[in-house]
Amino acid sequence: TIRPKGYQSTIPPFQFVSFDPETEQYLTAYSAPIPLETTTGSTNPGPARSRPTADDGFFTGVENILGIKTSNLFEDSPRDPISHWWHIIPGILSFLLLLQIIRSRILPLLAASKGDPDILQAIDMLEKKEADSTTFLRKAGSLIEESIPEDSRDEAIRQIIASRDEHCFRPDKSAPDITDVQRQEIIRHLRQRLIKNASALILLTSLVISNVEASPPPEPERNVLLQAEAAWNTKAYRLALELYQTAHENRPSSSDILYNIGNCHFKLGESGLASLYYHRALQIDPTHPEALQNLQFIQKETGAILPTATGYQNWISLVSRDTYSTALAAGFWLILLAVLSLLQTHRFRRFHRACLWVGSVTAIASGTVLISYPTLSGFAAHHEHVVMIHSAPVMAGSSATTPEKNRDGSAMNSQSLFPIAPGTLCRLIANRGEWTYIELANGLRAWVPRNTTCPVLPVSAIPERF
């Protein structure tokens, strides 16, 4: 890719060289410079354009990469917190429904304490046995006194005890008249009180788990990050690279540290290694915006071979990948809420079934689009990704993998086609001695020297120097 560096106000003059046979001399003439004016776009109204890609001039005028992530990279706020906050609403609703299902269906089976395993059996016998009102109140009162301490009784429990004492132990009082509805209400309240402590324990555990956050890095790791940042600011890029590699050993899952390592390689003139570490950062965080922009900038600068999108992929790429991800999450939330609602209540079942169908269709459609969404690395599996860390010519011919070599070390009878730019992402097919068989994003397969490629995974592997 040939492009002028920076902005140009004029087109340079052309040089004309001719030979005068009469004077037997060469004559050189120059044309006048041609003024160059740039415009931002046409004034005529037209159809709206989609977001430009790297080939549409997205990096016009951009002459460098984005800088490193600072030492507080583990404490950075979310890039788009609003896009994640909406999960709180369906999350709370799902939690409440799940808690209600556990309280009404599961915990009653597990509510008996180890000290008195017959509590639930006593409640069941109280519910099934057709006793008169006096006997029912006596058994209910005895169960309360055995299972619920005095300080844990609410007003309804105390009312049951008071009713028992008033009607069951005084000969001058008539027998109470308790209907079946009142009996079921008393039994239901007893069940709830017996499992209340277990429900509170589950709620407390859930709150503790939800409040667990990633701890900041220890002080020694922070010192290494501060030293690397200081080396970067003083343009000691080799020292900054070594310090960031040390920090990466302590934090192998940090995409920001991998991104900073890529920046150091770029400043050292190693575009291929910079692309490698940008790809590794994207393996951990596929939405890392700085790594995506710097990678596209390097690929544009070096002329790396990129995959071509089909018509269908161009159509679905009009909408951002995050939008499809949000739709997929919304579909799953709708499915979960519909299933929990169907398990919990018998009302509005048609509405809940409709929500289940809508959520399923949304999730399936969004997931299908996400699988087909065009990406820089979608033409191969993750474990097959290799990056050209050094420019190398594509070799054709089976003799490229034979041990017979010329005096200069090159393979005999092999044909050099064209060089592959550093930073090009390839698919690894096979390794054969000092050669690697790769497939480019455009479908071309060929042999390249093995020391010019490096696999993306594992992200902790340090490539050999070439």
Instruction: Report pLDDT digits (tens) over 327-349.
Output: 999 999 999 999 988 888 777 88
The predicted pLDDT at position 239 comes to 92
% helix / strand / coil in the chain, to the nearest 5?
A: 50, 10, 40
Residue 371 and residue 374: Cα distance in Å, rounded? 9
What is the residue type of 172?
A: D
The predicted pLDDT at position 315 comes to 82
Say yes or no to pLDDT of 360 above 90.
yes
Residue 347 and residue 408: Cα distance in Å, rounded? 83
Burial of 222 (0-12, 13-18, 19+ CB in 10 A): middle
Residue 291 and residue 262: Cα distance in Å, rounded? 9
Residue 289 and residue 267: Cα distance in Å, rounded? 19
Percent of the chain whose pLDDT exceeds 70: 66
Instruction: Report pLDDT digits (tens) over 414-461.
Output: 455 677 888 888 888 888 888 888 888 878 888 888 888 888 888 877
Say yes or no to pLDDT of 396 above 60.
no
Give me the residues paired with residue 25 across strands.
20
Residue 440 and residue 3: Cα distance in Å, rounded? 24
Do 401 and 447 form a contact (C-beta atoms < 8 A)?
Answer: yes
Residue 108 and residue 94: Cα distance in Å, rounded? 20
Instruction: Report pLDDT digits (tens) over 276-309.
Output: 999 999 888 888 888 888 988 888 888 888 777 6
Cβ-Cβ contacts under 8 Å for 211 (sequence gap 6 or more)? none
Say yes or no to pLDDT of 223 above 60.
yes
- Where residue 217 falls among pLDDT bands split at 50, 70, 90? low
